Amino acid sequence: MNYKIIWDSDVILDLLLLRTKDNPYIFEIEKYVLNYKIPIYISSSQLSNIKITLSERLKNSNINVNDILKKFVETHNVSVLKTPSYIDIDKWYSDFDIEDELIRLTGETFDLYVLTRDEKFLEALKDKGIHPKDFISFISNSTENQKINMLDLTQETLYIYHKIEKNIDKVIKESNFILGHEVKQLEEKTTKYLGVKHCIGCSSGTDALVLSLRALAIKLKGKEYFDKTDEIITTPFTFTATGDAILRAGATPVFIDIDLDTYTIDTEKIKEFLKTSKNVVGIIPVHLYGHPANMDEIMQIAKEYNLFVIEDVAQAFGGMWDNKKLGSIGTTACFSFFPSKNLGGFGDGGMVSTNDDDLAEIIRMLIKHGGKDKYNVDHIGYNARLDTLQAAIILAKFDIIDDFNEKRRKIAKLYTESLKEIKWLKTPIEKEKAYHVFHQYTILLTGKNREEVQERLKQQGISTMVYYPYPLHKMKVFINNGMKVYGSLQNSEYAAKNVLSLPIEPLYDEKVIYKVIWKLSEM
């Protein structure tokens, strides 16, 4: 729902002082706000004025101002947003309402509407102003006509903006933008969360994969890169980076089909292929859409054939297999902090986890041009560090990752229970030992054309996405640069033609999800 509204000070005071004469709509507004848990956004510039005005109005009473404000904050969903500093300074000494302008600027920063009963302010706000008499109809109309995106990253940012802003300001104050202590803090926090010995921040999930492979080549072969004769097993039903990293590390990707129930690599087919080849050095399972690959089978196979395992956890931060955190099971694991991930920053970022001391040391060299001393390097390295600013933002989000994953699971459960009777689609499942974190809620269309379903949902303002329309073995980069294919890969090709991911924003309420369900049920 469209709850992105900043409240003018007068309307806040109407609520605190129960000023029904000035605002006869205030009781109705409060009831609506409490029933639907609508956030009340306030600019930091308003806090002082609200408290001063409230104190003046109550100075002859026995009512404690602090008690009123405390109760208001405890009973309402109040969020304070920053006041921009980029107000034109000449407005300070001109005939201008500075407080209104600061509220307007705060709203503009986050694309918020402003709730006010000041007619002059409403006129200045144009289509971004809402009068109290129109508050409920505005929200109702917005909900009815709201475009349902796959995610609402702005709303997620607003949810904990005070923490994000504080962390960013700290980085700016210290100006230690490269490998500042926030990077180390994030590494230590992730290490503890996963229960591993080492976590190394890097520039992206893609680079995390490349760094892991390069470090393994250096440790296992004593060479900067693998040879083309070295084969690394992975799935063709994943993002390009998984296979591309193998090419960039000098090896040959071997594509093995998926289990159509989980969209993760089929371990029985891995066993079959290993009977035919002696050149396999490792496996990269992908925990796709947030569902874990079968790590019991994969680690047993790796042990039997003396293979390394790199977990691709780009879509599954917080996920588990048999109560073990994904990223703590393989030889190394690779995470992405791309903005749309379950735990995402404001740009690219990644991390490698491992219990191997040697690999951790090599990876730390590789991210800084290849050596402990950048002026006397040991290996062919990269400029692949995690930015301090990104680490600061991810740290602010870290404390809510488990809560957001649970919200995703709740939405997924609602989808699954409501869609299970529709014959022309298959809902995702969760294997017995899996803890699925639903980076995507992906259905399989078994009886309708995907493009037609997408178009009909689009006409209703509902976004969908296809992850992934082209399996890797069909891409030119792998055809032209070397790959192996085991079997027909029919499941991967079938999935690529028929999967469809639905909106799964953790902060969407049930009304939004039910709208998606309703529109699918009508088809």
Which residues of the chain does CATH 3.40.50.1010 include? 5-146
The CATH class, in words, for 175-398 is alpha beta
For residues 285 and 295, is the Cβ–Cβ distance under 8 A?
yes
Arch. (CATH architecture) of 401-521: Alpha-Beta Complex (3.90)
What is the predicted pLDDT for the residue at 86? 87
> What is the mean pLDDT of the segment spanning 302-318?
98
pLDDT in tens, 106-116: 999 999 999 99
Provide the phi-psi class of 229: left if phi over 0, else alpha when psi is between -120 and 50, else beta: alpha
Task: Identify the pLDDT of residue 191.
Answer: 98
What average pLDDT score do residues 327-338 get?
98
Domain 5-146 class, CATH top level: alpha beta
CA 410 to chain centroid = 16
- Antiparallel, parallel or unpaired: β 78-81 and 40-43: parallel
* Mean local confidence (pLDDT), 212-237: 98
Q: Give residue 142's pLDDT band: very low, low, confident or very high (50, 70, 90).
A: confident
Q: What is the pLDDT of residue 87?
A: 84
Which two three-digit tokens encode residue 275? 């009977």
Give span(s): CATH 3.90.1150.10, the chain.
Answer: 401-521
**Secondary structure (H, E, C), 391-425:** HHHHHHHHCCHHHHHHHHHHHHHHHHHHHCCCCCE
Confidence of residue 215 (pLDDT cuts 50, 70, 90): very high
The predicted model gives 168-193 an average pLDDT of 97
| Position 346 pLDDT exceeds 80 | yes
**33, pLDDT greater than 60:** yes
The distance from CA 322 to its chain's CA centroid, rounded to whole angstroms, is 24
Q: pLDDT digit string (tens) for 311-329? A: 999 999 999 999 999 999 9
Q: Which of 93-102, 253-262, 406-415 has the lowest mean pLDDT?
A: 93-102
The span from the CA of 263 to the CA of 462, in Å, is 24
Amino acid at the residue 293: A
Report the alpha-carbon distance of residue 270 to residue 69 in Å, rounded.
62
Question: Angle at the Cα of 139 (from 463 to 165), degrees rounded to 5?
Answer: 75
Bridge partners (DSSP) listed for residue 373? 376
pLDDT at 2: 59
Of the candidates 384, 325, 333, the one whose C-alpha atom is nearest the C-alpha of residue 354 is: 333
Q: What residues form DSSP beta bridges with 7? A: 115
Q: Tell me, rounded to whole angstroms, the distance of Cα 206 from its chain centroid.
A: 16
Element (H, E) at 486: strand 484-486
What's the pLDDT tens digit per position in 122-141?
999 999 999 999 999 998 88
Residues of the chain with CATH 3.40.640.10: 175-398
Pairing of strands 198-202, 231-234: unpaired
Contact 471, 410 (CB under 8 A): no
182-209 average pLDDT score = 98
Strands 113-115 and 129-130 come out as: parallel
Confidence at residue 1, expressed as pLDDT on a 0 to 100 scale: 54
pLDDT of residue 91: 81
Exposure class string for 172-191: b at 16+ Cβ within 10 A, else e: eeeeeeebbebbeebbebbb
pLDDT at 62 over 90: no
Model pLDDT for residues 231-284, shown as the tens digit of each residue = 999 999 999 999 999 999 999 999 999 999 999 999 999 999 999 999 999 999
Q: Higher model confidence: residue 145 or residue 335?
A: 335
Q: Output the pLDDT for position 96.
A: 81
pLDDT tens per residue across span 72-87: 999 999 999 999 988 8
Query: What pTM did the predictor assign?
Result: 0.94
